[in-house]
Structure 1
Amino acid sequence: MVGIGADGWQGLPETSRAAVEAAEVLLGGSRQLDLVPDTGAEKVRWPSPLLPNLEPTLAAHHGRRICVLASGDPMLSGIGSTLARRLGADRLRILPGVSSVALARARLGWSAEETEVVSVVGRAVHRLARVLAPGGRVLVLSADADTPAEVAGLLTERGYGPSSLTVLEELGGPAERAVTGTAETWDRPRGAALNLVAVECAARQGTPLLGMLAGLPDEAFEHDGQLTKRDLRASSLARLAPRPGELLWDVGAGAGSIAIEWCRAHPANRAIAVERDPARAERIGRNSRALGVPDIEVVTGAAPEALTGLAPPDAVFLGGGVSTPGLLETCWAALRPGGRLVANGVTLQAEQALAAGYTERGGELVRISIEQAAPLGGLSGWTPARAVTQWSVRKP
């Protein structure tokens, strides 16, 4: 697999040229194949859609010397990562080129340590919202020529209209150019499809600033009251202990706050939010997009029936309904070894179910009481919320 930049054949080092020249079949997108001169190899364009046809395409050329052409660094949101997962890294020899991210940082003078990278290639531009912070620097890998305007619109909508944008087109090639402006005044015409958007984040005064740790303000979520409140949410997520790449089931998700904060913990995290009420299920989608994790899967249906066929989770959160017959047992059976289950309850029936689970499987059983200061006559006093019983346990 050879990474090739916008500078084409002349920009390839000798080892990469030799790999291309030795191939009997060149696989790649139209742009990459057009950058390579005729070497006698058969040029084959990737089919569309790619993923369902990937194995058949490779199988059609079994036994021949195949060279895959990729853009820049094949392992940066590229075909290299897909092939490594599907075929195994031991079956690949990867000769990377300079990535668009490295070229962009070089042009801008941004260090790798201070730069976030967000890909919206084949993904929603809302993913950018997860990393927004005043003073932050973000490189957005664009899907096409429409991405810069979409980025500008999202930034303006989220209160980051003053952010400066630099669109870097055709990096490393003869047609390279940079277009600058601010998000809230962005009116530049569509440029090259091959581009990257550099964002220097600046927020308008009064814009809510959201942290990355668990416990976002309740006001950050659209909800109808069915929301795991901030302090209890922080406690629940601490015990769910999200780790990169893990899958969470948020059962009885309400506004989706647990699933959303789980996914905000790391860009590789995944979540399935299960909610029986259709209006709330739609609301979860809106909240996930607004808070930068639009890839959360929402399943509309009542548990435990709605859990049938879902991918096995690394963690399960039950924010309610724990006394529903068979629910705890179904979630426990589905949980992967080493997985964590956290369940909250406020009713006597829920407490009984949680106590029974604790007796049978151990873990930690706590009661959480929260009081908030509120006006009391002309003074202030404490207003208690309902005490919540929380059971957390790790599966052997």
Structure 2
Amino acid sequence: MEYYITVAGIGPGSPDYLLPAASKAIANASVLIGSRRALTAFSRKDQKSYVIGSDIEGVLAYIEKAVAAEDVVVMVSGDPGFYSLLAALKDRFGSAKLKVIPGISSVQLAFARIGRFWQDALLLSMHGRRADDGALAFQPGKKMGFLTDGKHNPAFIAELLIKLGWPPATQCWLCENLSYDNENIAALTLEEGSKVTGFHHCVMVVSDE
């Protein structure tokens, strides 16, 4: 019998933003894999579970062993197609072995919260990586959405963008804890953003409109 790996996007965090298809897959899973936070929110005691941590090779090895005997559900935050474990799973197991359930990206929710469309936005991740200067360079009317981290935080990004020619008065939004009770959104200029503290692991939107 052939077994499969279902990669389920769980959205920005709150169960309110979990799609029914993902909820059904998670509820029916015998083997459930995800971050500690996701497993705390969605797993049951009768399910086998494995925490996704920094050892990605260890996660993939566990999945490889488990999927030889039964189906596996892997929960990823946001949408699987946007900077998630899906790329590593595809490289290891191939697309034919995967079933992907989309989710609501935190970037998508950030644009919704500030009432802006994102069809023309350049979407980048500065979470654990550094976008190249060519992608970040200023162009009139340009719009960008970022995933950030503790090192490449909004203050770092704002200062970098100003150095790359963005007007200091350009508007930006810092969107933290999206979908949770402690959600926090700040509307600032890049100059103000370059001095802000906190807002690590948030979504940053920058728009020259």
- State the TM-score, normalized to the length of structure 2: 0.82
Indicate conservation of the 8 Å contact 1:155/1:163, yes or no. Answer: no
How many equivalent pairs are there? Answer: 200
Write the deviation string for residues 134-169 of structure 1: whole angstroms up to 9, x where unpaired. 221110121347511111110122232232221011
Counterpart CA distance in 2 for 1:128 and 1:179 is 27
1:77 to 2:44 alignment: no
Aligned-residue offset at 1:198 = 0.4
Aligned-residue offset at 1:116 = 1.1
Counterpart CA distance in 2 for 1:137 and 1:179 is 17
Q: Choose the corresponding residue for 1:21, options 15, 27, 30.
A: 27
Give unmatched runs, 5+ long, in structure 2: 1-6
Counterpart CA distance in 2 for 1:80 and 1:151 is 26
- Helix, strand or coil: the match of 1:35? helix
Q: CA RMSD in A?
A: 2.4
Please show how residues 60-75 of structure 1 align to structure 2 within 5 Å: 60-61=65-66, 62-75=68-81
Aligned-residue offset at 1:64 = 2.8
> Partner residue of 2:4?
none
Counterpart CA distance in 2 for 1:195 and 1:77 is 14
- Helix, strand or coil: the match of 2:181? coil
1:188 to 2:193 alignment: no
> Partner residue of 2:3?
none
Counterpart CA distance in 2 for 1:163 and 1:79 is 33
Counterpart CA distance in 1 for 2:48 and 2:133 is 38
Cα distance change of structure 1 residues 97 and 7 upon mapping to structure 2, 3 Å threshold: same
Counterpart CA distance in 2 for 1:66 and 1:44 is 11
Write the deviation string for residues 103-139 of structure 1: whole angstroms up to 9, x where unpaired. 1222233333321111112211545754531221110
Structure with greater Cα Rg: 1
Counterpart CA distance in 2 for 1:43 and 1:8 is 20
Structure with higher RCO (Cα < 8 A, 6+ apart): 2
Indicate conservation of the 8 Å contact 1:32/1:69, yes or no. Answer: yes
- State the TM-score, normalized to the length of structure 1: 0.46
Counterpart CA distance in 2 for 1:29 and 1:152 is 29
Q: Choose the corresponding residue for 1:96, options 85, 98, 102.
A: 102
Indicate conservation of the 8 Å contact 1:23/1:65, yes or no. Answer: yes
Counterpart CA distance in 2 for 1:124 and 1:139 is 14
Counterpart CA distance in 1 for 2:117 and 2:187 is 20
Aligned-residue offset at 1:19 = 1.0
Cα distance change of structure 1 residues 180 and 10 upon mapping to structure 2, 3 Å threshold: closer
Cα distance change of structure 1 residues 111 and 13 upon mapping to structure 2, 3 Å threshold: closer
Counterpart CA distance in 2 for 1:184 and 1:20 is 43
- Helix, strand or coil: the match of 1:26? strand
